[in-house]
Amino acid sequence: MDYIAVIEQSTPEIWPGSTLWHDEWGSLGTFPDGAGLGSEIMRFRVPRRIMAERLDALMKQYRRKPLVRVSPRETPGLTSWLIDHQYRLHERQMLMIWSGHAPTRPHSPLVQEVLTPEQLAGVNALDHRVFHDPVLEGANLHKELQRLQPDSRRLFYVSAGDQVISAGGLTRFDRWALLWGGETHPDFRQNGWYRLVVEHRLFIALNQWAVDFAATYANNETSAPILAKMGFQLWEVHDIYAPPQTSHISSLL
């Protein structure tokens, strides 16, 4: 199966409130929300002869310079352009695939689904600790809760007492599912919680949603080694470049 083609045919997860844009060559990105969040170029596929001209024009449209994802399919020379403009490598992510034919373990009763504002607030507190995401309150918390739908976008967590200690989201597309936002509180790592939440989401995706495969973008230094041991296949490497003023990568995408 051409996993990349299937993934790129899907409308991507974006920061809530940001604006998706695309061009005739297959480039894709988001303009930020009112607070400047969600500023990203996800794909850049323009002809090489107009690369610099297009990038200069595109950057002028951003109020806040975007993160830029560089995969093996981007316009040649993009990385050099970014470095010349004071961009720096922020993170290396591994696109990892779980085949729909691979066996999955039954979902765990220790993993719960986010269904209430209180549960989402607990996960958001963990997001803030791990990913430095904004703290959601009031109407923003309810808007994010409304994005969760049983048949398309779900969020799961494990708690210890009143504290959320691990969490992760799952989004369904036509033929595949994306695992996103996987995290564990620093005080509770090395105890298998991250793996448990991954296994739970895989079971939902492959057995309840019956998708062909699951995919995730894993940090090279943290989650990727765990996922590789679980049986995920490393498919390709993506470099995330950040402008001189660092912007965070959100778990709620």
Domain of 39 in residue numbering reads as 3-93
Q: What are phi and psi of 105, to 5 degrees?
A: -85, 150
User: Which positions ≥6 away from 157 have C-beta within 8 Å?
Assistant: 111, 112, 114, 119, 122, 123, 126, 164, 166, 167, 168, 197
Amino acid 253: pLDDT: 41
Amino acid 49: pLDDT: 97
Q: What is the mean pLDDT of residues 202-224?
A: 94
Output the domain CATH number for residue 112.
3.40.630.30
Q: Could you give the C-alpha distances from 94 to 84, 97, 127, 174, in angstroms and in order?
A: 25, 10, 20, 22
Q: Residue 247 falls within a domain, yes or no?
A: no
Q: What is the mean pLDDT of residues 6-35?
A: 95
Whether 114 and 226 map to the same domain: the answer is: yes
Phi-psi label, residue 116: left if phi above 0, alpha if psi -120 to 50, beta otherwise: beta
Whether 68 and 160 map to the same domain: the answer is: no
100 pLDDT higher than 90: no
| Residues 123, 121, 252, 155, CA torsion sign | positive
Whether 148 and 200 map to the same domain: the answer is: yes
Neighbours of 184 (CB within 10 A): 25
Domain tally for the chain? 2
Q: Residue 166 falls within a domain, yes or no?
A: yes
